[in-house]
């Protein structure tokens, strides 16, 4: 969570999108905080694949058919397709089916937890067939999830939601805001003196001292890792939520976590997954191509800044 704000005018904390959320506004009011929280919950209701009535669930239930959707969901799909292109396919929006097969079929808080931090993934690594792709007709706004596949907003949704909520606050006249959705953080407008100070947790032990600190004056910082969201499957194996699009299985990466600093939340969040999959050296080039930076924690605990 960010610190360093000198008595912000308003702050709220709540649970949404399967995460701890925090909103801080400078020179705003309680009604602004209430609107921002309501907006986060509204986007969750549109994008959660755990809710039968969400637009994402509707698109997946009608895979193979062109379906209408809200402006917010069209933006989500537009950004997901852009992220897939920018990362060379390392970000894949069509991993929903694989997530469900692995047991991630409900909110993470309801999944069986591993017995300890040393549990490992034991899943076959096979080439995942592709060929189908997510489509959106810009003329009609109709979205098509290919038959046999499922859209999952989890890899980009919180970053994009933070972008949208901070933009909404700016339009309301709030001069400065920070939205933190489970570690995916976006700020706009004025900041506390010296900027927002964002601590990076040790992915091996969240109770340990923070391994780095990022000072944010604009843009976003988003974090992903292979140690945080883990669950035990019925066969006793342990899975995590960062999947390799080539296999559809959890990646066995040398990076424990990546925190990307970029101009927008959706891009930062997509790049976290891409850098984990790419590894430090290719990840360095990927970040440089998008004017982004990162704090990387290796599986042995070593901390590096990229590029």
Stronger pLDDT, 160 or 238, i.e. the higher one: 160
Distance CA 195, CA 5 (A): 8
Structure pTM?
Answer: 0.86
What is the C-alpha to C-alpha distance for residues 76 and 82, in angstroms, rounded to an integer? 10
Q: 21 CB contacts (<8 Å, ≥6 apart)?
A: 13, 14, 15, 37, 40, 179, 180, 181, 182
CA distances from 27 to 11, 14, 24, 180, 194 (A): 11, 21, 10, 18, 17
Per-residue pLDDT at 233: 61
Distances (CA, A) of 133 to 63, 93, 95, 99, 245: 11, 9, 11, 17, 13
CA–CA distance, 214 with 199 (Å, rounded to integer): 6
Q: Kindly tell me if the per-residue pLDDT of 8 is higher than 60.
A: no
pLDDT at 73 over 80: yes
What average pLDDT does the segment 5-9 reach?
Answer: 53
Highest mean pLDDT: which of 18-32, 126-140, 251-265? 18-32
pLDDT band at 124 (very low <50, low <70, confident <90, very high): very low
3-state secondary structure of 60: helix
Report residue 297 as tokens. Answer: 């924690």
Give the mean model confidence (pLDDT) for residues 210-227.
Answer: 90
Cα–Cα distance, 6 to 269 (Å, whole number): 28
Domain encompassing residue 77: 2-306
Predicted local confidence at residue 126, as pLDDT = 47
What CATH number corresponds to the domain at position 76? Answer: 3.10.520.10
Beta strands in 17-154 (DSSP E): 19-26, 66-67, 135-136, 143-144
**165, 40 Cβ separation under 8 angstroms:** yes
* pLDDT confidence bin for 101, thresholds 50/70/90: confident
Instruction: Please state, as a whole number, how many other Cβ atoms lie within 10 Å of the Cβ of residue 294.
Output: 28
The pLDDT confidence band at residue 166, using thresholds 50, 70 and 90, is very high
**How many domains does the chain contain in total?**
1
Length of the chain: 307
For residue 94, what are the CA distances in angstroms to 97, 107, 156, 219, 243? 8, 18, 12, 27, 11
Strands 212-216 and 196-200: antiparallel
Task: Please state the rounded mean pLDDT for residues 100-111.
Answer: 62
Question: Among 27-36, 170-179, 224-233, which is the least confidently predicted range?
Answer: 224-233
**Section 273-278 average pLDDT:** 89
SS3 of 238, please? strand
Burial grade of 220 (CB within 10 A; 0-12, 13-18, 19 or more): buried
């Amino acid at each position: 969570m960010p610190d360093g704000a000198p008595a912000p005018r308003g702050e709220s904390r709540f649970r949404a999108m399967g995460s701890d959320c925090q909103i801080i506004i400078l020179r705003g009011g309680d009604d602004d905080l209430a609107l921002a929280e309501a907006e986060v919950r509204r986007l969750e209701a549109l994008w959660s694949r755990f809710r039968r009535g969400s637009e994402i669930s509707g698109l997946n239930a009608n895979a193979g058919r062109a379906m209408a959707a809200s402006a917010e969901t069209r933006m989500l799909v537009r950004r997901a397709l852009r992220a897939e292109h920018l990362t060379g396919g390392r970000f894949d929006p069509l991993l929903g089916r694989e997530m469900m097969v692995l047991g991630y079929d409900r909110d993470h808080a309801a999944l069986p937890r591993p017995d300890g931090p040393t549990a490992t993934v034991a899943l076959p690594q096979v080439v995942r067939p592709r060929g189908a792709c997510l489509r959106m007709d810009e003329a009609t706004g109709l979205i098509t999830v290919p038959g046999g596949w499922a859209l999952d907003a989890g890899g980009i949704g919180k970053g994009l939601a933070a972008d949208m909520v901070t933009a909404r606050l700016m339009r309301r006249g709030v001069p400065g805001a920070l939205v933190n959705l489970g570690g995916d953080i976006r700020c706009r407008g004025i900041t506390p003196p010296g900027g927002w100070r964002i601590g990076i947790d040790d992915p091996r032990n969240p109770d340990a001292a923070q391994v780095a600190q990022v000072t944010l004056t604009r843009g976003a910082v988003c974090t992903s890792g292979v140690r945080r969201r883990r669950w035990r499957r019925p066969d006793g194996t342990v899975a995590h939520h960062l999947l390799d699009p080539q296999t559809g299985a959890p990646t066995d990466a040398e990076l424990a976590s990546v925190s990307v600093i970029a101009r927008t939340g959706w891009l930062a969040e997509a790049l976290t997954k891409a850098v984990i999959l790419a590894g430090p050296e290719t990840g360095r080039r990927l970040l440089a191509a998008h004017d982004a930076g990162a704090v990387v924690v290796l599986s042995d605990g070593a901390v590096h800044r990229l590029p």
